[in-house]
A and B are shown apart, each in its own frame.
Chain A
Amino acid sequence: MSDAAESGGLTLGSGGPGIDEEYPLQAEGLRKAFGGITAVEDASFRVERGSVTGLIGPNGAGKSTTFNLITGMLDPDAGTVTFDGEDITGLEPHAIANRGLVRTFQIARELQDMTVLENMMLAPKGQRGESLWRSVTPGVRREVIDQESELLERVWEVLEFFDIDHLAEEYAGNLSGGQRKLLELSRALLTDPDVLLLDEPFAGVNPSLEKRLLEHIHELREQGYTFLLVEHDMDLIMENCGRVIVLHQGQILTEGAPAEIQANEEVIEAYLGGNV
């Protein structure tokens, strides 16, 4: 079922996403308030297909909340999210993920009492054995078992790529912070997404692996995958992102190419003058 072996041995399933629209992900007037705090206010932006777009802003700017609004973890008070030309506002997270818009969490949420392999095997879409009757009925179960073996092969490839194959049988709860981040990222990739929202994916990951991951992200980008990346390391953002969106106190401060952002007075103000 996979033919994408071209990228450093990593197989992500059914090739790259078809490029039919320039901006697969668009947010329009998003707003979310928690009690008195307005975490996101009238945020409109779009993410270009095949780009690595950075989403930056001081702590508490509303970046993670924006992710939650996009992926259905939170319902916006106002505004819409459009994905591949369809309105996905208010859909359940699983429905959004199945359309190919998948996120990782800022604080890694590994499934502690499951092994790394179990964590990874959970992710792929379209598993026949997720139907109860198929999993238990003699005869039919054969198909499930066969698919499990295929999935396991794919999982091993991803594990090897991310250099966590030696942890395969370890319980996820025993991993270090950086290893958890890697597990989350590789698990998200196994869902075969078109657009990945990564919330500080490199926090705690060692520099050489960070470099490898970034290279890999660029490879995937060239295949047509799209990334929206939250990151506090400015150099990393400037070097790796084609576009940068700046959030400040819940509002979009500006949007543009890295060089423009770096020179922007307001951005410098927000970072230096704010309470960071």
Chain B
Amino acid sequence: MRDDVVARIPGGDTGAIVAVLLVIYAAYVLAGVGLGFSLRGQLNTVATLTFFIGVFAMLSLALNLHWGYTGLFNIGIVGFMAVGIYVMALVSKPLYEAGGASQVGGLGLPIVVGMLAGMAAAALLGLVVALPALRLRADYLAIVTIAMSEIVRFSFLSGDFQQFQLFGERVGFGGGSGLILDYTDPIEAFFSVVGLWDAYLGVVDAFGVLIPTNPKPIVDGLVYGALLLGFVAAYFWLLKRTGESPFGRVLKAIREDEDVANSLGKNTNRFKIKAFMLGCALMGLAGVLWFMRSGAVTPNTFRPRITFFIWIALIIGGAGSNTGSVLGGAVFAALLYQGPRTLKNLIDAVLPSTNAPSGFGPAVAPLFSTLDPAPLLFYTLDSVRQLQLVFMGLVLIWLMHNRPEGMLGHRKETAAGIPLTAQRAQKRQAADGGGGDDE
């Protein structure tokens, strides 16, 4: 039935994605109005929301390649993200200077080179993980990936890699105290490379009409959000092509029954490794894009919970569908990731002076002694942020019971370079007129 809804939206899948995004943004803007946000506050909200929609959509697309297409159970996503950003930092941080803010330097190479290096490193890590594990059965890959992601985190935490020499330069990962990302701001780097940095600054100045004081961070945020959506589009394009090809067809066959694919002459291990490495590279790049403007990174950011967030996003959207992955990423980011924060602000704005109990005990006690539910209610509202994980759990349980295939997982996207339909006779007659299935 939900398929009908999607089918009725003009513009097909793109239309569905745009429609969902519009609804999300409208809700957030309305919430902002309710909160009495200034224009600055509104734009800030939009920028932050776009950022998270972007990163979660990218990551859930990458995970869809692993799980939705190939049936590879990767629960170490965050490890590949961490490797992506750390290697990018290593390559792109400026050379070490005594007395500088940063304890360690980098190789001082351009940011693009760093991004590519981060992707390559994530892909290589994927290869190292996949080689032994893919020969075994599916559950081993799960164990190996989650172990790997923790090993990555502990490695970045460890003193051994805090600082070392590479090509004669003093570099390092900064250990537990974190790594300062003191390269040129990526937005500046990007616009400088295309020679539009001055034009960009002009646009920022023009924005001063709307936001008189310090408009640059706002514009930066909005532009970066837009850039991320561009990356989402690129991921989508790449993965759609991958899926709609003989390569994607073999992946699908592997997911269904690996022995069959193998006995039809497909070297399934090689296909699995390629798909796994591609997905890992995309996860690495997503890690870079998520954290590269955050000023500094610490290893403990990269805990397994991020991996599970991405899984939830994919499950909401529906494994197996690229459109579903984007929708899942967007819905997860808006409702479950940023939603509780916004809800809390809204509640605070509407009920400004409630005195919520300070702990669970005092919140529950009146319920039993005087049958008064108010303290528990206030406590819950007050702890909305902390209860985020509980909400996620509830949503997951609800989905498993009522819609295990997610929003679009029931829809099967054809694994072929051309449409596989029964209208063959007509096609044959009209043949030689020229294909045009490819863009």
Contact flag A94-B263 (CB < 8 Å), given A118-B249, A129-B245: yes
Q: Name which of A71, A109, A114, A169 has the most chain B CB atoms within 10 A of its CB.
A: A114
- Contacts of B248 on A, CB cut-off 8 Å? 135
Q: Does A245 contact B (CB under 8 A)?
A: no
A203 within 8 A of B: no
Is B103 part of the binding interface, using a Cβ–Cβ cutoff of 8 Å?
A: no
Is the CB–CB distance between A135 and B241 below 8 Å?
A: yes
Query: In the complex the two chains form, is B247's CB within 8 Å of A93's CB?
Result: no
Chain B residue numbers with a CB within 8 Å of A169 are: 420-422
Closest residue of chain A to B320, judged by CB?
Answer: A113
Q: Is B414 among interface residues, defined by CB-CB distance under 8 A?
A: yes
Say whether A206 faces chain B, with CB atoms less than 8 Å apart: no
B253 interface hit (Cβ, 8 Å) = yes
Inter-subunit contact A148/B252 (CB<8 Å): no
- Residues of chain B within 8 A (CB-CB) of A128 are 246
Contact with B416, one of A97, A103, A121 (Cβ below 8 angstroms): A121
Assuming the contacts A136-B241, A191-B265, asked whether A130 and B250 have C-beta atoms less than 8 A apart, the reply is yes
| Contact in complex: B264, A97 (CB < 8 Å) | yes
A118 near B420: Cβ-Cβ < 8 Å: yes
Q: Is A238 an interface residue (CB 8 A)?
A: no
B263 touches A145 (CB 8 A): no
Say if the beta carbon of B4 comes within 8 Å of chain A. Answer: no
Quick one: CB contact mask for A140-183 with B, threshold 8 Å, 1 for yes? 01101110110010001000000000001101000000000000
Residue in chain A with minimal CB distance to B436: A145
In the assembled complex, B261 has its CB within 8 A of some CB on chain A: yes
Measured between beta carbons, the chain B residues less than 8 angstroms from A97 are: 262-265
Residues in A whose Cβ lies below 8 Å from that of B249: 114, 118, 121-122
User: Which residues of B have CB within 8 Å of A130?
Assistant: 246-247, 250, 266, 271
Contact (Cβ within 8 A) A93 B418: no
A9 to chain B, nearest CB (A): 14
Shortest distance between the CB of A41 and any CB in chain B (Å): 24
Do A113 and B256 form a contact, CB below 8 Å, given A98-B265, A122-B249? yes
B100 contacts chain A at the CB level, 8 A cutoff: no
Does A125 contact B265, Cβ atoms closer than 8 Å? yes
Residues of B within 8 A of A73 (CB): 259, 263
CB distance A135 to B412 under 8 Å? no
A7 sits at the interface (CB 8 A): no
**In the complex, A71 Cα to B437 Cα: how many Å?**
38
Interface 1/0s, chain A 75-119, versus B by CB < 8 A? Answer: 000000000000000001111011000110100010111110110
A114 and B245 in contact, given A94-B265, A132-B274, A141-B438 (Cβ under 8 angstroms): no
A254 to chain B, nearest CB (A): 29
Is A49 interfacial (CB 8 A cutoff)?
A: no
Docked CA distance A80–B37 (Å)? 78
B176 to chain A: closest CB distance in Å?
39
Partner of B257, one of A98, A111, A145: A111
Complex CA distance for A111 and B437, rounded to whole angstroms? 26
Verify B412–A113 contact, CB threshold 8 A.
yes
Interface residue? B417 (CB, 8 A): yes
Contact A103 B263 (CB under 8 A): yes
- Asked whether B122 is an interface residue with its Cβ less than 8 Å from the other chain, the reply is no
Interface of A is mostly: helix
Given known A-B contacts A94-B265, A169-B422, A145 and B437 have beta carbons under 8 A apart: yes
Contact A135 B265 (CB under 8 A): no
Are A136 and B242 interface neighbours, CB within 8 A?
yes
Contact B418 A149, beta carbon cutoff 8 Å: yes
Which one of B247, B248, B415 has the greatest number of beta carbons of chain A within 10 Å? B247
Q: Given the complex, which residues of B lie within 8 Å of A152, measured CB to CB?
A: 416, 418, 420, 424
Q: A94-B268, A118-B416, A141-B241 are in contact. Are A135 and B246 (CB under 8 A)?
A: yes
CB-CB under 8 A from A98, the residues of chain B are: 265
**Chain B residues touching A, range:** 35 or more
Q: Are B435 and A145 in contact (CB under 8 A)?
A: yes
Chain A interface residue count, CB cutoff 8 Å, equals 46
Contact A135 B262 (CB under 8 A): no
Tell me whether B267 is interfacial, beta carbon within 8 Å: yes
In the assembled complex, A14 has its CB within 8 A of some CB on chain B: no
CB neighbors of A among B232-287 (8 A): 238, 241-242, 245-250, 252-253, 256-257, 259-268, 271, 274-275, 278
8 Å CB contact of A92 from B245, B262, B264, B435 = B262
- What are the residues of chain B within 8 A of A103 when measuring CB–CB? 263
Complex Cα distance, B257 from A105, in Å, reads: 12
Taken together as a complex, chains A and B put the C-alpha atoms of A121 and B266 apart, in Å, by 13
Give every chain A residue within 8 A of B247 (Cβ-Cβ): 129-132, 135
Interface centre among B274, B412, B422 (most CB of A within 10 A): B422
A128 and B249 CA atoms in complex are apart in Å by 12
Decide yes or no whether A264 CB sits under 8 A from chain B. Answer: no
A218 contacts chain B at the CB level, 8 A cutoff: no
Q: Which of B278-337 contact A (CB under 8 A)?
A: 278
Q: Is A123 an interface residue (CB 8 A)?
A: yes
A102 touching B246 by the CB < 8 A rule? no
A132-B249 Cα distance, complex, nearest whole Å: 11
Q: Does residue A31 face the partner (Cβ distance < 8 Å to B)? A: no
- Shortest CB–CB separation between residue B21 and chain A, in angstroms? 26
Contact of B264 among A115, A142, A187 (CB under 8 A): A187
Instruction: Identify A114's interface contact among B262, B415, B421, B424, CB under 8 A.
Output: B415
Q: Which of A103, A105, A145 has the most CB of B within 10 A?
A: A145
Contact B263 A102 (CB under 8 A): yes
Contact with A along B39-54 (1 / 0, CB 8 A): 0000000000000000
Query: Which has the most chain B C-beta neighbours within 10 Å: A109, A144, A146?
Result: A144
For A187, list chain B residues within 8 Å (CB).
264
Whether A145 pairs with B417 at a CB distance below 8 angstroms is yes
1/0 contact string of B404-430 vs chain A (CB within 8 Å): 000000001011111011101000000
Q: Which 6 A-B pairs have the closest CB atoms?
A: A135-B245, A129-B246, A97-B265, A111-B256, A148-B417, A117-B420
Interface residues of B (CB under 8 A from A): 238, 241-242, 245-250, 252-253, 256-257, 259-268, 271, 274-275, 278, 412, 414-418, 420-422, 424, 435, 437-438
Q: Given contacts A94-B261, A109-B260, could you give 8 more A-B pairs where the C-beta distance is less than 8 Å? A: A94-B268, A98-B265, A109-B257, A112-B256, A114-B415, A132-B247, A168-B422, A187-B264
- Point out residues on A near B: beta carbons under 8 Å: 71, 73, 92-95, 97-98, 102-103, 105, 109, 111-115, 117-118, 121-123, 125, 127-132, 135-136, 141-142, 144-146, 148-149, 152, 156, 168-169, 171, 187-188, 191
Between-chain CB contacts (< 8 Å), 5 pairs = A73-B263, A113-B412, A130-B266, A132-B247, A145-B437
